[in-house]
Amino acid sequence: MRFTNSLAFRVLGTTLLLSTVLVATLASVLNQRLSDGIRESKIESALNESQSKLFQTENRFILAEIASVSDFRDAIDRVVTEFADTRGNERNPEVALLQANSTSKNFYLYERATNQIDKSSISPSLRAKVLATKELQYEYGQIVYASTYLTPVAVERKVPALIIGGNFTVENFGKFEMYFLYSTSPEDATISLISRTLLIGAVALVLVLLFIVWATSRQVITPIRGAAEIAEKLSAGDFAERMQVEGADEIARLALSFNEMASALQSQITRLENLSRVQQRFVSDVSHELRTPLTTLKMASDLIYRQRHDFDPTISRSAELLSAQLERFENLLTELLEVSRFDAGVVNLEPEMVDIVALVDKSLEALKPIAQEHGSTFHYVHPNEQVMTVVDPRRMDRILRNLLSNAIAYGEGNRIEVEVRAGEKSTAIAVRDFGIGLRQGEETRVFDRFWRADPSRERTRGGTGLGLSIAQEDAQLHGGIIEAKGAYGKGSLFVVTIPRDRSEELTERLFPLTL
């Protein structure tokens, strides 16, 4: 599966990202609010309880008849023991009674605490705040349990706690601080339970969302995927496949219009195929029907031509004209048929491994007599080794003959240079003449059918006006191209470039297109 290319994957990815952000935000806000609420209510109830216990204690000392130090000590012991007795329930606080401004590290003199808690449980900053005002003060800290005889190894146990403190004064004994140390572990446990639940809920919610999106997108994506597969088959030429149409929703409409498109394409292609077949038949029929009488004509003309010396001059000249024009007619017919074959798309390449150097040599040899008639000579430059290239030798020969004939016809009797070059990805042949040349803008027009540079004079040069156009089509059939460059009065250059691998795009140029 191509996950990165899949629409479903993209939708799921987006959903995952967005829902994670959303649910995480929601859950953390909820978590914060809940834990804040729990803590606040804890503080509130602890403050109320501490306040009343502080009053109780203060009243105890007022009511107690303290006559001596030992009485006071008893009173302190009783108060603290009373609180200690109520221990056993985690919700009850530890209590510590301290003398104001005592700086000793341990409890001494009139200082007492429940359950062996260590004096370091109460921070100096809290003590300062407690002494500064009559109001109760609190902060979060921890209860530190000192090591005792029961726990002989020096182990300090620490419990997170809310520590509340207040002060009161006992006549003759001065100011005292009283601290209530509430363990927060029950609340912390509740909060962490809530957090865990929220986390699990959030993950579950994201998963459910993903599933919903996956299920929904499947309903849309499955038909789209089907359409894509069928479209691929269509482009590969298989017109039999159709999409299934179910219901009347947008997907069904997609399927319906898709199928209509496929049918329209199919009928259009069938129509074109028929047209092409008709065209092909027509070409073949015209070909046959014209060629047979033309053969008879030519043979008759040949016969008369050979005996033209026995006739008087006008008939003799007529025989020559007849023969020449028949030949021209034949060339025109051949090329017209070739052009119509190109148009009908019924041409096919017959590729073979061929030595281009030898092939060019042969074409040059064949056209030498005509070149000599015009006073031109060929100058052939080629690599010293074979240049093996896969081409259709007959078409390649025709390309060369067309280019060479052109060079001879417009070369003004000057030399004609031909060069073969072999590149990494292509083979190229250049034909350069030093004749009339081409004007600006004519370099592409020379390949147009029946185009003539100068209509008034060039008809005398023979040629059908189709040669270069056919040559270009032949080159393109090889995946190649013919390019032209010319300067008026200086001659012209034609370069055929044929790729070694027909399936690859031709980018290499072995000849600079300059004169």
Partner 1 sequence: MGARQLMTLIMVVDDDQDLAEMLAIVLTGEGMEVDLVSRGDQVMEVFRNTPPDLVLLDLMLPGLTGIEVCKLIRSESMIPIVMLTAKGETTDVVKGLEAGADDYIVKPFQTNELLARIKARLRRTSVPTVASSKLEFGGVSIDLVAHEVRRGEKVIALTRLEFDLLLALAREPGRVFTREALLAEVWGYRHSSDTRLVNVHIQRIRSKIERDPNQPELVLTVRGVGYRAGNFTEQR
Q: Which of 68, 89, 235, 348 binds partner 1 (CB under 8 A)?
A: 348
Instruction: Compare residues 251 and 477 and give the one whose CB is closer to partner 1.
Output: 477
Query: Considering only 143-151, 214-222, 288-296, 499-507, which stretch makes contact with partner 1 by CB under 8 A?
Result: 288-296
Closest distance of CB 232 from partner 1, Å:
32
Instruction: Compare residues 103 and 296 and give the one whose CB is closer to partner 1.
Output: 296
Site string for partner 1, 363-382 (x = CB under 8 A): --xx----------------
Q: CA 393, CA 299: separation in Å to the nearest integer?
A: 29
Residues in Cβ contact with 329 at an 8 Å cutoff, skipping those fewer than 6 apart: 294
Residues in Cβ contact with 323 at an 8 Å cutoff, skipping those fewer than 6 apart: 301, 302, 304, 305
Burial 176-203 (b: 16+ CB within 10 A, else e): bbbbbbbbbeebeeebeeebeebeeebe
**Does the footprint of partner 1 cover residue 325 (CB under 8 A)?**
no
DSSP 271-327: HHHHHHHHHHHHHHHHHHHHHHHHHHHHHHHHHHHHTGGGS-HHHHHHHHHHHHHHH
Q: CA 222, CA 217: separation in Å to the nearest integer?
A: 8
Closest distance of CB 306 from partner 1, Å:
8
Closest distance of CB 278 from partner 1, Å:
17
Closest distance of CB 406 from partner 1, Å:
19
Q: CA 93, CA 88: separation in Å to the nearest integer?
A: 10
Query: Considering only 113-121, 152-160, 296-304, 448-456, which stretch makes contact with partner 1 by CB under 8 A?
Result: 296-304
**Does the footprint of partner 1 cover residue 292 (CB under 8 A)?**
yes
**Does the footprint of partner 1 cover residue 459 (CB under 8 A)?**
no
**Does the footprint of partner 1 cover residue 297 (CB under 8 A)?**
yes
How many residues interact with partner 1 (rule CB under 8 A)?
A: 30
**Does the footprint of partner 1 cover residue 359 (CB under 8 A)?**
yes
Closest distance of CB 313 from partner 1, Å:
24
**Does the footprint of partner 1 cover residue 460 (CB under 8 A)?**
no
Residues in Cβ contact with 134 at an 8 Å cutoff, skipping those fewer than 6 apart: 166, 167
Closest distance of CB 339 from partner 1, Å:
14
* Residue 416: count of CB within 10 angstroms of its CB: 25
Q: Closest Cα partner for 478 from 377, 332, 369, 350?
A: 350
Site of interaction with partner 1 (CB under 8 A): 284, 287-288, 291-300, 302-303, 330, 348, 350, 352-355, 359, 362, 365-366, 388, 393-394, 397
